[in-house]
Structure 1
């Protein structure tokens, strides 16, 4: 129902698990992060299928999407059904109270579509939005507050995507999620671990009783968690369309929950009633014999991934093994340069009219790549001047927290969906309404609105503006046809996760599962992150001698991808999380 407003294979031979290298320096404090801790490594094999495939972040979601494909549904249909299930079983990552970005290849029309379902700031917001008594709120106080909640965009985005590419009735896509919400699902080790660590969620008046027992203990692994309130919301939206969410009692309850919080936000009913998911022009660039395509701003993810890969074509990184010192060094240096540009130039294009393609121009990329020294790390990269003039914007170092999810789908007709959705930090704002959690996406804005020099940042709060994101759902074309769909959760680490995997498949010739399983590495100008407990860890001392400020991180990436080969479909799911690729 339509709303009224309308990757030669290369396998990692072993994981080297050991103690941290002695004498390793630790970079000084950075912006606040709250990484979702890994719950273990589960070895996964390359999935294969002849006709269709879905790779999603939770087995329940993959099964729901596969069932829709079995029933003749399109990739769009399967993506919607899987996402609705993720809203239930992965509440820490995404849901009806959040938003996301969708990249779709329409096989019938041989065209790409992208949908911006990012949250928006309330109309009643301004540059002082995060100030209380004249002082900017501490970051975590802002996260766990009504002020952090933006207008949820997910359902409007799913609805618009379905209007363009759905095959089955809208209501049918809700059935797997409705049944699972009523009957319940077993709490997974990952969800239990996140509940155990979340002090703020345990203290939430609206969410505590669902996730914890009367003594404040998290629901144990295997506990059957039922959500009848969310089942009712699913039923209403299934029958009435997204309007039931944005214009009725659900909308009133969302506004009431935000405004009655101890630190209230200004979200109002008109913010929901007039919210629109925005179709935007896909961002594409040639890379090797491929074409990389993804979401443009307000997402900074694809353009930053593209910059990294294009700069690396000016180096000899492909002459080195993926886990070599040289490859890790070059990859990190390109990441620093790309992220420096990201921090200045990327924001909501409806508010900042910066021509993002200038960041991908060959001459500019060559100039930036020339700054990479193959023997020495730069301390911190500075933004370039793609327009040949001094930027009027300050540098934005706003933190972005890594609780997000991704799914990739290919159907029998060759339609493809790559979709990343989020509630921002683990469990979002911790405010629960009718069985779903509200996002804290507004803390992706610069809370101060100006940099240390007092210059306004492009990514500052403004009424109805969408905060910058690092989400990077991407589709790779080869000879004009889909070849690969990929994406990941992980906050700012999404950029290096996706770039690593694309480099693995398209550059080093790995299969998608092997590329996903490569140890994570990279830099977004805070330091050089390498995945602890992997075969990259022994490189730390050498990297530091080259000038890198090494950070050992858990980096549980959550990549989900599908590659379309002449012999069928190949799918990969991140061994660091609980997702799975399924197909027929």
Structure 2
């Protein structure tokens, strides 16, 4: 009977065009016509294609891909977290955004991550019920489907349910992420049972099934968002936060979430951040994501320089300095707009960008620059607050990004997360998904714009971006990576527009992330190369522990109607890009 059930499940996977094979089996670049998808997972990209081929639009396909990523990439994303979706609606020629960022429970106070007036250890805060924010993903998917999709939850969740039921082959990257989080996962009995074998990471090559997550998806498919925010699943979430399912001998900080916190959660439909850069119209996420504003400010600064006339090292020096200045402002001013009246208009002003650009020395790197004063560039100057410069806060670098388009020209750029690799480490008993640790995105002490408060959404760096040229989609770009998301998106745009790289080269190029710190984040091997040596002549210095930065996905829209989907060619185990009708 077991063998028969296994055969049936595998048959369903094959009938849907899915696969048990590792996520890097398909190429990371695909060109053709019709719809397109780029994700970090082969199964997720295939799920998008299945929905597009069944008549769904880009919004439906994006939710299908996201749900599948919750199975195959559960340490980056899932229904226990939240995110930001940017949507271009072709018929209406407009861009909207859906903010479904996690929210602080009503019991939160600014001192929630303090003990005796001092901030608690960051890792201790992460692996706890206290770090869990009210998840927004399911509510965000509901809003996207109800407002802009043409399919139901039942239809778009079907591919993910099949992957969770039949299982998928654990990749070396998946194994590595579990191994790196063994200590956190060992705290919780449910997490250990799902991802550990005899206390150790599930091995690469094993087939991992998650019937509890399939159960959660089936409940949502049948009863919609109420299945998540009310009833047994909601009770299981609250219980897991307030009384984490601990392994023997373990203890962590409990949370204080209520059923009312879940039932009261709302997504926000927000106007996008709109900026221009060298003839392109760029649309990104508004607050509480700082990504759209910070990318736009940095590009406005860069627009005052003729990067194409510069040698590579000089252009990259200016890119790093523009990022430094934008991050100084980001850290000082930006937070949840329902709690902080941030000077967004001033930060997006071209005149303000010229003022900031004048601070860049074309021959020398600055050190820890101060925030500017954008209030003089606001049309409303009644705001008296001039906050001091803020330190670069700790922000986990583990998220995922996907992008989808359809044959009618609709486009979705979607970044969503559970924060750290594996989030809080807590798998909800009976439902198979990890809960976020998004509350650690708040600053632990103040006064700061981004301190914890009841009902507040922590500042994010997610920067899903859609670019238009002459009123039509030109490209999308986005990435995971915590605060390095901003620099990955910024550097990819500069590589593509200013340095003339095809998008696949723009994404694959070595990344440098300057966030107004004492040293620049770079990837392994970069500091020993010729480009690093050239930039060191300007005074730039590199962090001692290089790590992979981001895992971007993009779609390029060509003038002849063709599309090119692009995912990572080397990071995070290599991504997967697909189009409905590949070019021959």
Q: Which one is further off, 167-176 or 393-402? A: 393-402
Size of the aligned set, in residue pairs, is 537
Q: Tell me by how many angstroms 1:45 deviates.
A: 5.9
Whether the 8 Å CA contact 1:404–1:420 is kept in 2: the answer is yes
Q: Which one is further off, 177-186 or 498-507? A: 498-507
Whether the 8 Å CA contact 1:519–1:535 is kept in 2: the answer is no
Distance in 1, Cα, partners of 2:496 & 2:159: 33
Q: Which one is further off, 240-249 or 527-536? A: 527-536
Whether the 8 Å CA contact 2:24–2:42 is kept in 1: the answer is no
C-alpha distance 175-276 of structure 1, shift in aligned 2 (>3 A): same
Whether the 8 Å CA contact 2:26–2:42 is kept in 1: the answer is no
Whether the 8 Å CA contact 1:543–1:550 is kept in 2: the answer is no
Whether the 8 Å CA contact 2:24–2:576 is kept in 1: the answer is no
Q: Deviations over 1:371-408 (max 9, x none)?
A: 11111000111110001476135625321101100001
Whether the 8 Å CA contact 2:38–2:555 is kept in 1: the answer is yes
Distance in 2, Cα, partners of 1:79 & 1:359: 31
Distance in 2, Cα, partners of 1:255 & 1:45: 39
Q: Tell me by how many angstroms 1:250 deviates.
A: 0.7
Task: State the secondary structure of the residue aligned to 1:50.
Answer: strand
Q: Which one is further off, 438-447 or 549-558? A: 549-558
Distance in 2, Cα, partners of 1:219 & 1:495: 33
- For structure 2, the 5+ residue unaligned runs are 1-21, 245-251, 377-383
Task: State the secondary structure of the residue aligned to 2:351.
Answer: helix
Alignment of structure 1 residues 259-408 onto 2, 5 Å: 259-261=242-244, 262-320=252-310, 324-388=312-376, 391-392=386-387, 395-408=390-403
C-alpha distance 151-399 of structure 1, shift in aligned 2 (>3 A): same
Aligned-CA RMSD value: 1.9
Whether the 8 Å CA contact 2:26–2:577 is kept in 1: the answer is no
Match in the other structure for 1:581 = 577
Distance in 1, Cα, partners of 2:424 & 2:232: 21
Whether the 8 Å CA contact 1:46–1:512 is kept in 2: the answer is no
Q: Which one is further off, 220-229 or 394-403? A: 394-403
Match in the other structure for 1:35 = none
Q: Deviations over 1:4-28 (max 9, x none)?
A: xxxxxxxxxxxxxxxxxxxxxxxxx
Match in the other structure for 1:14 = none
Match in the other structure for 2:179 = 196
Match in the other structure for 1:532 = 524
Distance in 2, Cα, partners of 1:122 & 1:394: 28
C-alpha distance 41-97 of structure 1, shift in aligned 2 (>3 A): closer
Q: Which one is further off, 302-311 or 58-67? A: 302-311
Q: Deviations over 1:72-131 (max 9, x none)?
A: 110000000000000111011000000000000111211111010000001111111112
Q: Tell me by how many angstroms 1:184 deviates.
A: 0.7
Q: What's the TM-score once normalised by structure 2's chain length?
A: 0.89
Alignment of structure 1 residues 54-69 onto 2, 5 Å: 54-69=37-52
**1:484 aligned residue (458, 475, 495):** 475
Aligned: 1:412 with 2:407: yes
Q: Deviations over 1:42-99 (max 9, x none)?
A: 9966420111100011111001001111111100000000000001110110000000
Distance in 1, Cα, partners of 2:541 & 2:328: 16
Match in the other structure for 1:131 = 114
Q: What's the TM-score once normalised by structure 1's chain length?
A: 0.89
Distance in 2, Cα, partners of 1:525 & 1:419: 27
Aligned: 1:78 with 2:70: no
C-alpha distance 168-305 of structure 1, shift in aligned 2 (>3 A): same
Whether the 8 Å CA contact 1:396–1:459 is kept in 2: the answer is no
Whether the 8 Å CA contact 1:396–1:446 is kept in 2: the answer is no
Match in the other structure for 2:247 = none
Alignment of structure 1 residues 457-496 onto 2, 5 Å: 457-496=448-487
**1:234 aligned residue (217, 230, 237):** 217
Distance in 1, Cα, partners of 2:72 & 2:323: 33
Distance in 2, Cα, partners of 1:137 & 1:396: 17
C-alpha distance 381-134 of structure 1, shift in aligned 2 (>3 A): closer
**2:541 aligned residue (539, 546, 549):** 549
Match in the other structure for 2:3 = none
Match in the other structure for 1:572 = 566
Task: State the secondary structure of the residue aligned to 1:151.
Answer: coil
Q: Deviations over 1:116-151 (max 9, x none)?
A: 000000111111111245543111111111111000
Match in the other structure for 1:436 = 433
Whether the 8 Å CA contact 2:324–2:369 is kept in 1: the answer is yes
Q: Tell me by how many angstroms 1:230 deviates.
A: 0.6
C-alpha distance 160-440 of structure 1, shift in aligned 2 (>3 A): same
C-alpha distance 187-258 of structure 1, shift in aligned 2 (>3 A): same
Distance in 1, Cα, partners of 2:136 & 2:23: 32
